[in-house]
Amino acid sequence: MKIPRVLNKKNRVLLAELTRTDFKLRYQGSVLGYLWALLRPLMMFAILYVVFGQLLRFGADIPHYPVYLLAGITMWSFFTECTNQGIQAMVVRGDLIRKISFPKYIVVVSATLTAVINMLINLIVVVIFALLNGVEPSWSWLLVPLSVLELYVLSLGISFLLGAINVKYRDITSIWDVCIQALFYAAPIIYPLSMVITSSVLAAKVLLLNPIAQVIQDIRYNLITTQTITTWDFIDNFWIKSIPIVIILIISVLGIYYFRKKSKFFAEEI
């Protein structure tokens, strides 16, 4: 696949139209429509905040804890939505794959772009909440898009890799559901990392090598409070602290390689 062909006019048109359709269909037939893109994470936030913030008293040591929690949940929802849609994209669009010839990656990218749009809307809400909560605007906010991009690359890599396997073995969808559950508790999203440190410093360090944890902590650090514990500050060894980046690179390269290799046969196997 040559670079000029990847983004030629026909492919761009197709990508834009499929994304538009996906976004429109997502909230088709619901009374509140697009508002659900906002309401879902806000409601999840409300539940988690009452349970963990108020009842269990998590995060008493973290300034702006509600916003801190919301930022984590927003990025986590983005990751789950992105990978779920991406992995299933080939199966959902099987009809197209069987009947026209086009680069298959378009289907995966268009499915994940809907999640990107939802996330951007939610991120605006996070910023509004942050300002209401008294967080001072800072230049470090400009670093947030970099972290978002990093998470998107990871999500795309997973979608390509698992999506390609899912064409033949639909078990992947169920396996990924379980993985998502495990990953949610493996990342410091609802609980503050300081809680882990009190019982084991090593465990906290291991948790921070998870790319999802690294991204979420970076976003919290740059957007909300510099009291956030990040991978970069907490781990000293340069080689060890670059593990999250290496994981993302390996998954993306492997995903793209495997997807390209298998995509020739999607039309017969789907």
Based on the shown chain and the rule CB under 8 A, indicate whether residue 181 belongs to the binding site for other proteins: no
Q: Give me the DSSP letters along 10-58.
A: HHHHHHHHHHHHHHHHHTTT-SSTTHHHHHHHHHHHHHHIIIIIIIS-T
State which of residues 55, 57, 60, 95 lies at the interface with other proteins (CB under 8 A).
95
25 binds other proteins (CB under 8 A): yes
Enumerate residues 207-266 that contact other proteins by CB under 8 A. 264-265
CB of 64 closer than 8 Å to CB of 71: no
The yes or no reply on residue 4 touching other proteins (CB under 8 A) is: no
Q: Contact with other proteins (CB under 8 A): which of 96, 179, 180, 249?
A: 96
Residue 18 interacting with other proteins (CB under 8 A): yes
Least distance in angstroms from the C-beta of 89 to other proteins: 14
Contacts of 96 (CB under 8 A, 6+ apart): 102, 107
CA angle at 43 for the pair 82 and 41, rounded to the nearest 5°? 20
Residue 10 makes contact with other proteins by CB under 8 A: yes
In 3D space, the residue among 29, 26, 61, 76 whose CA is nearest the CA of residue 210 turns out to be 76
- With CB under 8 A as the contact rule, the residue among 29, 55, 139, 236 that binds other proteins is 29
Q: What are phi and psi of 214, to 5 degrees?
A: -60, -45
Candidate ranges 124-132, 149-157, 169-177, 195-203; the one touching other proteins (CB under 8 A): 169-177
Using CA atoms, how far apart are residues 181 and 175, in angstroms rounded to an integer? 10
Q: Which is nearer to other proteins, 195 or 261 (CB)?
A: 261
CB of 252 to other proteins, least distance (A): 23
Q: Based on CB atoms, which residue is closest to other proteins, 58 or 266? A: 266
98 binds other proteins, rule: CB under 8 A:
yes
CA distances from 260 to 155, 178, 265, 270 (A): 17, 26, 10, 15
From the number of C-beta atoms within 10 Å of its C-beta (0-12, 13-18, 19+), residue 215 rates as: buried
Q: What are phi and psi of 188, to 5 degrees?
A: -75, 75
> Closest distance between other proteins and the C-beta of residue 10, in Å?
4
Interface stretch with other proteins, choices 12-20, 44-52, 139-147, 199-207 (CB under 8 A): 12-20
Q: Give the contact letters, 37-76, x = binds to other proteins (CB under 8 A), - = no.
A: ----------------------------------------
Q: Which of 2, 54, 101, 237 binds other proteins (CB under 8 A)?
A: 101
DSSP 143-156: GHHHHHHHHHHHHH
Q: Footprint of other proteins on this chain (CB under 8 A)?
A: 9-10, 13-14, 16-18, 21, 24-25, 28-29, 95-102, 168-172, 264-265, 267-269
